[in-house]
Structure 1
């Protein structure tokens, strides 16, 4: 079973063993270093290698450890930011460009599956978006019109593939689905066959600019390349993009059905947050994969309750035989609705980034691969202006952007003001985590399933916000910029690169006895 950045096991982990890269004999003078071993990093690295670039992939843990191992793997051109919103805030031509970029990305996946003969359960599908009341009907019609105007093949539908009541629906042709881990592992093997190198358990800790490119400091030594690409979901360190991307968590379940009535295609309701559904065959067994119940990272007191809510929703409409897998995953919403792909703001021209994919990571990861390949290889790329991380932010998403960063500022200010004493919590339950005060000092305490105490500082090592306990994935999550840590404070996901500081164990033990 492969590992990923959470306590819960995803459907894609089961039956898969960790990727074992080929030994590296030459670690000198790479053309491109890609930081990140998910679908973005590996897809980009393969395209670079096919262009004759000597490329090194650095992965802090294992391939697909992060969001790629926790996606629900919808490959779609029906995007989370509707084409109506893109047209309103970026113009109709840019809505068409976004749709074309998404279609190019989907075609790249199709091509890879076909030419590399990848056995990853890839199949074509349609997507259905359905309304359930009058207000949603009006919005859906607007979305349908804008989607057609953007050049996507869409039309009104009289039925949907789900046993869920609806009022109106739209159908979008030319979507797809697959097993993301099998797909990425196959790309990695193809990349290595072209001379590409992969190093796992190698975290990037620093970057130095030099006359010919960059020197990358890592936990396994120094590497030199002309160009560096951050495909790490969110770039590490401190950057303007951390204020332009808001971290969210989404919940998913893979279930078997007693009546074998597995729905085909991809489906989405119009609730806020919306639910999404599809079926995937894995090792001969079909699974209904349903997700939703999204919220900002670190902003729920009981993350596990979202699983309960999602299960209740699924059981309301489907004859569930077994909840086989349940997991959550993190994504980053861009402030203006479109991802940031290109030169990293504030850095020299040889450093690139791909982030802010929202809920469309499978699609935008491949948009990024194509765009970054062309930027590095040719110095220019189609759509580079549209997705430029340095673009001036238009009004789309401005309200939520300001609201999120007001929360961030509040976190900073709270570090400077006196706190009220927290109510001391006695008898912590196994699996529980709390940030508590002891002798005017805050400590993040977790009691594991065997009663063992784990104590760390609650101060995120990225920008000093206070972490919150995630009782679903058993992790400390930062609500400011999405850094996540395991119960012992080790980094699970960036932008943090350093672990939480260990707290004096005697204080934690003293608290736990109260």
Structure 2
């Protein structure tokens, strides 16, 4: 595929358009009421809520604030999370499905009220959300989803057309949703948190939790954060606590381009019902109306084609339907999907009442993260929350399809683990071109080798430091990605995404 029409570098518009403050690395032992690990939307919203209630709070991040999934989102504030409500009714009954909707609807209202309360300028735009299809096979699914809306009293409608500049066979609307600039919103929340006494630390990786009278976060540099409570808002829990999270969810990547197009949309946010996913929402960049087109997702490290091809697929779709003039940005995101598609929010295990986790947002993090922060704040305050049992990580996975997925996910992990160990490729490293990578064998050891733009060759042991699977090369982000649980590393072996907490081992090629 011709990829010259795409930016050379993966850069999130959200990051490129906002200067987020930076903070020092933790270099001493500290004591707080609540230690929050993860500086994304969940962690910062929780810090905001808890500090308002007088708790002494610190937030630590392994990298820099807002550089994870929060900074690489489509930033839709909506409870329309694809075709989910008919499925939730089948798995959890109407009461369970209604809890999911109400939690996310309340999260949307909380974001809007917080923006209004603090007069935050973040391009908040109220708009309707749509699921559309051009597949005859998916028309019935949309009709069933509409029936679910009616059962749950979700405001919406179903029709045969919409404002998209191409025909659709059926479209389902959820009214009064929204989108915004997430980093502008969270930058102001960080400032408010600081005014409330919250301490932020960057480049501070949490390795584990130890117990004495209460939990203590142990960092990579062996510093200690003594807490009454710990919130794991780190995307993937760094501390499992025998909750067995690696076997209860999987990591998936998706892609986004920001395109200037000849054809526009008058309003609405859109996502299709079929695969591959195509998400569409308007965005204004430099006073011009552009489109964010996302989708083309796959399990992390398990694409059947070079990663750049996913961006190209989005480009081709956009050009076909909207006529691309230029692509200003491209970026990707990583999300976690649970067995029953409902996030794990609550105590890491039933026995550990003061260590909490929030994960598995299934690509719908704006409302789910806000809902998580609200729920965890209530649990810490020992305040009743009607969503506690529904989102509990310790809930029973009731649905038979989820059990089959459980077997499938872990068979998949075993397959990649064995495949990587048996696979012994040898590629002539001398033939590598700049910005190319290969899997080779160095002194009998599987090695990932990358040549940078200056001609410097970097080699790493390809065994993931999490549970021992073999990583694969991602040519779109210049990263080594684990196909088992989603850990990602730079070409020098440093960690980009957990659950890994240790970098890949470097290999000396003797060049």
Which TM-score band (shorter chain)? Answer: over 0.9
Contact 2:20 2:187 in 1 (8 A): no
- Cα distance change, pair 44–192 in 1 and its aligned pair in 2 (3 A): same
Contact 1:250 1:293 in 2 (8 A): yes
Choose which of 141, 144, 150 in structure 2 pairs with 1:142: 144
SS in 2 for 1:91: helix
Given the alignment of the two structures, is residue 275 of structure 1 paired with residue 275 of structure 2, yes or no?
A: no
Quick one: distance in 2 between partners of 1:325 and 1:26?
A: 39
Alignment match, 1:387: 391
- Cα distance change, pair 24–466 in 1 and its aligned pair in 2 (3 A): closer
Alignment match, 1:400: 405
Alignment match, 2:257: 253
Quick one: distance in 2 between partners of 1:106 and 1:195?
A: 26
SS in 1 for 2:260: strand
- Cα distance change, pair 23–219 in 1 and its aligned pair in 2 (3 A): closer
Contact 2:39 2:66 in 1 (8 A): yes
Alignment match, 2:123: 121
Q: Spell out the pairing of 1:43-192 with structure 2 (5 A cutoff).
A: 43-80=45-82, 82-192=84-194
Given the alignment of the two structures, is residue 266 of structure 1 paired with residue 269 of structure 2, yes or no?
A: yes
Q: How big is the shift at 1:28?
A: 4.0
Q: Spell out the pairing of 1:85-484 with structure 2 (5 A cutoff).
A: 85-211=87-213, 213-219=214-220, 221-238=223-240, 239-258=243-262, 261-300=264-303, 301-345=305-349, 348-378=352-382, 380-395=384-399, 396-414=401-419, 419=422, 421-425=424-428, 427-484=431-488
Quick one: distance in 1 between partners of 2:457 and 2:14?
A: 31
Quick one: distance in 1 between partners of 2:310 and 2:38?
A: 29
- TM-score (norm. length: structure 1): 0.92
Count of residues in Structure 1 that have an aligned counterpart in Structure 2: 498
Contact 2:35 2:59 in 1 (8 A): yes
Q: How big is the shift at 1:502?
A: 0.8
Contact 1:19 1:62 in 2 (8 A): no
5+ long unaligned stretches in structure 1: 1-5, 510-514
Query: After the TM superposition, which of the residue ranges 363-372 and 374-383 deviates more from structure 2?
Result: 374-383
Quick one: distance in 2 between partners of 1:96 and 1:468?
A: 40
Contact 1:22 1:197 in 2 (8 A): no
- Cα distance change, pair 226–136 in 1 and its aligned pair in 2 (3 A): same
Contact 2:83 2:273 in 1 (8 A): no
Quick one: distance in 2 between partners of 1:209 and 1:7?
A: 43
Moved over 6 A (4+): 22-27
1:438-484: per-residue Cα shift (whole Å, max 9, x none)?
Answer: 34211111111222211010011111110111000110111111111
Contact 2:30 2:224 in 1 (8 A): no
Given the alignment of the two structures, is residue 485 of structure 1 paired with residue 489 of structure 2, yes or no?
A: yes
- Cα distance change, pair 433–23 in 1 and its aligned pair in 2 (3 A): closer
- Cα distance change, pair 7–227 in 1 and its aligned pair in 2 (3 A): farther
Contact 2:40 2:69 in 1 (8 A): yes
Quick one: distance in 1 between partners of 2:28 and 2:494?
A: 30
Q: How big is the shift at 1:505?
A: 2.2
Alignment match, 1:3: none
Contact 1:432 1:447 in 2 (8 A): yes
Quick one: distance in 2 between partners of 1:62 and 1:89?
A: 38
Query: After the TM superposition, which of the residue ranges 378-387 and 484-493 deviates more from structure 2?
Result: 378-387
1:45-89: per-residue Cα shift (whole Å, max 9, x none)?
Answer: 111111221111111111111111111111111113510000001
Choose which of 496, 500, 505 in structure 2 pairs with 1:501: 505
- Cα distance change, pair 367–452 in 1 and its aligned pair in 2 (3 A): same
Q: How big is the shift at 1:242?
A: 1.5
1:93-139: per-residue Cα shift (whole Å, max 9, x none)?
Answer: 11111111111110110011100111111111101111213222111
- Cα distance change, pair 269–411 in 1 and its aligned pair in 2 (3 A): closer
- TM-score (norm. length: structure 2): 0.93
Contact 2:160 2:169 in 1 (8 A): no
- Cα distance change, pair 64–420 in 1 and its aligned pair in 2 (3 A): closer
Quick one: distance in 2 between partners of 1:35 and 1:453?
A: 34
Q: How big is the shift at 1:200?
A: 1.2
Quick one: distance in 1 between partners of 2:356 and 2:457?
A: 41
SS in 2 for 1:374: helix
Q: How big is the shift at 1:423?
A: 4.5
Quick one: distance in 1 between partners of 2:220 and 2:423?
A: 40
Q: How big is the shift at 1:486?
A: 0.5
Q: Spell out the pairing of 1:3-42 with structure 2 (5 A cutoff).
A: 8-21=10-23, 28-42=30-44
Alignment match, 1:512: none
